[in-house]
Amino acid sequence: MLGRISLIVTVLGAIPYIVSIFRTDVRPERTTWGIWTVVLVLAVISYRAAGAGDSIWFLVGDLFITGVIFVISLFRGVGGWSKVDIASITVALM
C-alpha cells in the first residue's frame, strides 16, 4: 500500500518540473537524465530479481518520471557530445 502511495507522490511531485520545461523556465541536461534513466532501469531490474515487495513501486514511479523527463530533454533539453558529456557517460559506464 505505501509503495503505491509513494508512486503517486513521486509522479505528482514531478509535474511542476515538467511544466517548467514546457514553459522554458528549465532546460534539462540530456546526458544527466539519460544516465539516471539507465541507473534506475538497472535498479528496478535488480530490485525485482531480489524479490522486492510493494516498495518497488517507488522505484517504478521514479523510473517512469525520469524516463519521461529524459525523452522530453531530447527535444527541449541541452547538452550533447561536449567533453563533459562524454566524460560523464564514460564514468557512468565504468
Confidence band, pLDDT 50/70/90 cuts, at residue 1? confident
Please report the pLDDT score of residue 32 as a whole number. Answer: 93
- Among 12, 14, 16, 7, which Cα is nearest to 66's? 14
Instruction: Please say whether the dihedral angle defined by the alpha carbons of residues 35, 10, 60 and 24, taken in this order, is positive or negative.
Output: negative
pLDDT for residue 26? 95
Instruction: Give the C-alpha distances (Å, rounded to integers) separating 15 from 23, 70, 79, 86, 90.
Output: 12, 14, 22, 29, 30
Per-residue pLDDT tens over the stretch 26-49: 999 999 999 999 999 999 999 999
pLDDT at 80 (0 to 100): 77
pLDDT tier for residue 92 given thresholds of 50, 70 and 90: confident
- The DSSP symbol for 77 reads -
pLDDT at 13 over 90: yes
> If residue 61 lies in a helix (H) or strand (E), which one and from where to where?
helix 56-76
Question: What residues contact 39, with CB distance under 8 A and at least 6 apart?
Answer: 92
